[in-house]
Amino acid sequence: MAEVLSALPRVEEREVADAAALDALLRGADRPFVLRGLVADWPLVRAGLQSADAARAYLLDRAVPAPFTVSVAAPDSGGRMYYDDAMEMNFRTSKGSLPTIFAKMAEGEGQADAPAIYLASIDVHDFFRGLHEANHVDLSGRDALASIWIGTRTRIAAHNDFPDNLACCAAGRRRFTLFPPDQFRNLYLGPIDNTPAGRAISMVDFADPDFAAHPRFREALDHALVAELDPGDALFIPSMWWHHVEGLADFNILLNYWWRDTPRYLGQPQDALNHAILAIRDLPAKDRAIWRDLFDHYVFNADDSVTAHIPPKARSVLDRLTPESAGRLRAFLLRTLSR
């Protein structure tokens, strides 16, 4: 199947000369694109090109003396961080010192029976001193969360994220297989409340798809794009695009930025979906139809007619949300959910 993924249409490649050009490219972008060599001048990238040991030493020199959360899967997982037969996670998560974790990674390099070891979504600012200052992308004032992902050969099931994402390969190699947001039905998503990392994932094994169990995955592949990143390359993943991620080298480092164009005081759409499942999905059909109309009126098709008959000062959360009104609404929800 690796040959099939490699043969898929490639993500479009673009070029930027400076931060202003990158800003212009990112504004309004609704499809993924690759930027070759965007971060090739990072010291971390240069260290990784020397060796995995040099990259690890670079990070260790800047790591804070704090426990790091690490996930470890057995050698027979094939690097796939996924479920076991009982729908529990097939990896164990614990905390350890970064020197100890890195030593285990180095010990397994080149070994066919080595466990898969993965440090996922480590906050760059909280866990490293000076790493961001020496290795970052100028995102023209975007309020981005910077995270680093460090691992051996791993396969991360297809999932999506609500924020926009700029993923930068700092060491090793990464392959991303991407699908437009509307392909979720063809990816056979698993539970939304029992997930490896908080987002529902595809139940399809991309290394060995079971087309009898997942026939619509063929349709998904018709819409798929692939991007293979070398050190220094970056990939923009628009919000809600599905992406399957593989670490192709014995040691891989990815640094990514997440941001959203809407204010942080707004809620997470996934929370609304979870609450709708709790409160609406199992109602009788006639009641669900009424609530569908209400959602269309107040949310999906909302326009000025929703509030035109209400005095402006009395519209409260029906008006465009502000930090204050969003805070009141959040407090109201917490009170009602805690009953």
- Whether the pLDDT of residue 46 is over 90: the answer is yes
pLDDT at 5 over 80: no
In sequence order, which residues have a C-beta less than 8 Å from that of residue 145 and are 6 or more positions away?
123, 163, 257, 258, 259
Q: Are strands 225-229 and 174-179 parallel, antiparallel or unpaired?
A: antiparallel
What does pTM read for this prediction?
Answer: 0.95
Asked if residue 118 lies in contact with residue 81, where contact means CB atoms within 8 angstroms, the answer is yes
> Which of 231, 224, 220, 80 lies closest to 167, judged by CA?
231
Q: How far does the chain reach from its first CA to its final CA, in angstroms? A: 50
Q: Show the tokens assigned to 240.
A: 């809600």
pLDDT at residue 2, rounded to an integer: 64
Q: Which residues of 269-296 are buried (b: 16+ CB within 10 A; e: fewer)?
A: eeeeeeeeeeeeeeeeeeeeeeeeeeee
Which pLDDT score is estimated for 1? 61
> What pLDDT, on the 0 to 100 scale, is given for residue 139?
97
Q: Where are the domains of the chain?
A: 2-259, 269-337
Under the banding of pLDDT at 50, 70 and 90, the label for residue 138 is very high
Decide if pLDDT at 87 tops 80.
yes
Asked whether the predicted pLDDT for residue 3 surpasses 80, the reply is no
Reduced to 3 states, what is the DSSP secondary structure of residue 277? helix
Tokens of 112: 């066919």
User: What are all long-range contacts of 9-16, with beta carbons under 8 Å and residues at least 24 apart?
Assistant: 9/224, 9/225, 9/226, 10/34, 10/225, 10/226, 10/227, 11/176, 11/178, 11/225, 11/226, 11/227, 11/235
- Domain 2-259 -> CATH class: mainly beta
CA distance 274 to 257: 26
The torsion angles phi and psi of 62, rounded to 5 degrees, stand at: -115, 0
What band does 321 get if pLDDT is binned at 50, 70 and 90?
very high
Task: Report pLDDT for 108.
Answer: 94
pLDDT at 339 over 90: no
> Per-residue pLDDT for 271 more than 70?
yes
- Per the structure block, which two tokens stand in for 40? 């090739």
Q: Give me the percent of the chain exceeding a pLDDT of 90.
A: 95
Average pLDDT over residues 168-196: 97
**Average pLDDT value over all residues in the chain:** 96
* Cβ proximity of 263 and 323 under 8 Å: yes
What's the one-letter identity of residue 217?
F
Q: With contact defined as beta carbons under 8 Å apart, do 306 and 298 qualify?
A: yes
Higher pLDDT, 172 or 3: 172
Name which of 46, 40, 36, 38 is nearest 18 in CA terms: 38
121-132: pLDDT as tens digits: 999 999 999 999
Tens of pLDDT along 8-34?
999 999 999 999 999 999 998 999 999
Confidence of residue 318 (pLDDT cuts 50, 70, 90): very high
* pLDDT of residue 52 exceeding 90: yes
pLDDT surpassing 70 at residue 296: yes
Q: Residue holding tokens 């020496």?
A: 134
**pLDDT score for 7:** 82
- Of the candidates 301, 162, 175, the one whose C-alpha atom is nearest the C-alpha of residue 238 is 162
